[in-house]
């Protein structure tokens, strides 16, 4: 297949976006993440495709959802594609006027002010659903999208503190616009209005993951109960001392 006039190889079943990225071509994609299946929510990875046998016909597709085909001719930055991306960014800027990530991306495409009406009191969420998909992939599925149409939003069931949430922060860490609020205060962590207690290293007091997350890992993956007692730094010190003892013994035996 050809991308921007360059011939490149791809494996069967791969999506276009992966091949384009591998070529070092930069196209924006906000809802894409390697841990989850492609979703096609943000519509920014649009490309133009055609084939020699298509008699001059062209299609515009989201590259994250389009599987590679032999003989495909892809263009990532034609005028039409850029116009499409601009429209999408214009709409996203209208929905999320306060998001620095969207502002920056829009500015790269020459949009500093949306031509649509700005949402008042916007939550700056682009509703790509990456957080909910990651949560589901991890096996918790504590949050989901609620409602339809313009009332759609991300949140826990019934907007109450989610019983399945373990406070791992995967949703907040991977949000493309970083809008999921959480608070770390002392040994407590609050996310989705649920309060968690974090594990404190029994030696140095360093804070780690939440107790709920550790319990979930022990249950789901059969890890030992004492795996989460001390922090990584104290563990390294212990490892050094253990290996030191073995070497000292070896030293004495050899001598």
Residues of this chain that bind another protein (CB under 8 A): 33-35, 134, 137-139, 168-170, 173-174, 199, 208-209, 213-214, 217, 220-223, 227-228, 231-241, 243-248, 250-251
Q: Could you tell me the smallest distance in angstroms from the CB atom of residue 174 to another protein?
A: 6
Q: Could you tell me the smallest distance in angstroms from the CB atom of residue 100 to another protein?
A: 16
Q: Which two tokens stand for residue 243?
A: 């290996």
Q: Could you tell me the smallest distance in angstroms from the CB atom of residue 217 to another protein?
A: 5
Q: Which two tokens stand for residue 62?
A: 């989201």
Of the pair 107, 240, the CB lying nearest another protein is at 240
Report how far apart, in Å, the C-alpha atoms of 65 and of each of 73, 74, 80, 107, 130 are: 16, 14, 19, 26, 15
Of the pair 160, 233, the CB lying nearest another protein is at 233
Q: How many residues does the chain have?
A: 255
Of the pair 25, 73, the CB lying nearest another protein is at 25
Of the pair 187, 217, the CB lying nearest another protein is at 217
C-alpha to C-alpha distance for 174 and 193, rounded to whole angstroms: 19
Question: Dihedral angle at the C-alpha atoms of 22, 28, 30, 33, nearest 10 degrees?
Answer: 0
C-alpha to C-alpha distance for 127 and 153, rounded to whole angstroms: 7
Q: Could you tell me the smallest distance in angstroms from the CB atom of residue 29 to another protein?
A: 12
Of the pair 159, 237, the CB lying nearest another protein is at 237
What is the three-class DSSP state of 181? coil
Q: Could you tell me the smallest distance in angstroms from the CB atom of residue 53 to another protein?
A: 34
Q: Could you tell me the smallest distance in angstroms from the CB atom of residue 142 to another protein?
A: 13
Q: Could you tell me the smallest distance in angstroms from the CB atom of residue 57 to another protein?
A: 33
> Of all helices (H) and strands (E), which one includes residue 59?
strand 59-62
DSSP 186: T
> Of all helices (H) and strands (E), which one includes residue 132?
helix 130-137
Of the pair 20, 49, the CB lying nearest another protein is at 20
C-alpha to C-alpha distance for 118 and 89, rounded to whole angstroms: 13
Residue that has been written with the tokens 């031509």 in this structure: 115
* Main-chain dihedrals φ then ψ at residue 15, nearest 5 degrees: -95, 155
Of the pair 146, 170, the CB lying nearest another protein is at 170
């Amino acid at each position: 297949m050809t991308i921007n006039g360059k011939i490149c190889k791809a494996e069967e079943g791969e999506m276009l976006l992966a091949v384009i990225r591998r070529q070092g071509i930069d196209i924006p994609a906000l809802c894409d993440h390697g841990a989850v299946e492609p979703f096609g929510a943000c519509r920014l990875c649009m490309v133009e495709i055609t084939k020699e046998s298509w008699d001059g016909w062209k299609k515009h597709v989201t590259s994250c959802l389009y599987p590679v085909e032999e003989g495909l001719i892809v263009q990532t930055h034609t005028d039409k594609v850029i116009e499409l991306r601009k429209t999408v960014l214009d709409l996203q800027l209208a929905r999320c006027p306060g998001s620095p990530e969207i502002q920056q991306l829009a500015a790269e495409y020459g949009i500093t002010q949306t031509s649509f009406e700005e949402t008042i009191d916007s939550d700056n969420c682009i509703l790509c659903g990456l957080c909910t998909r990651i949560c589901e992939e991890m096996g918790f599925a504590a949050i989901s999208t609620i409602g339809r149409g313009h009332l759609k939003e991300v949140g826990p069931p019934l907007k109450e503190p989610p019983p399945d949430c373990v406070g791992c922060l995967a949703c907040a860490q991977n949000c493309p616009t970083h809008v999921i609020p959480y608070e770390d205060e002392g040994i407590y962590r609050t996310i989705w209005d649920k309060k968690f207690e974090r594990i404190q290293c029994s030696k140095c007091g360093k804070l780690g993951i939440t107790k709920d997350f550790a319990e979930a890992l022990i249950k789901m993956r059969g890890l030992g109960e004492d795996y989460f007692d001390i922090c990584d730094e104290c563990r390294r010190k212990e490892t050094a001392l253990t290996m030191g003892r073995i070497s000292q013994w070896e030293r004495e035996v050899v001598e």
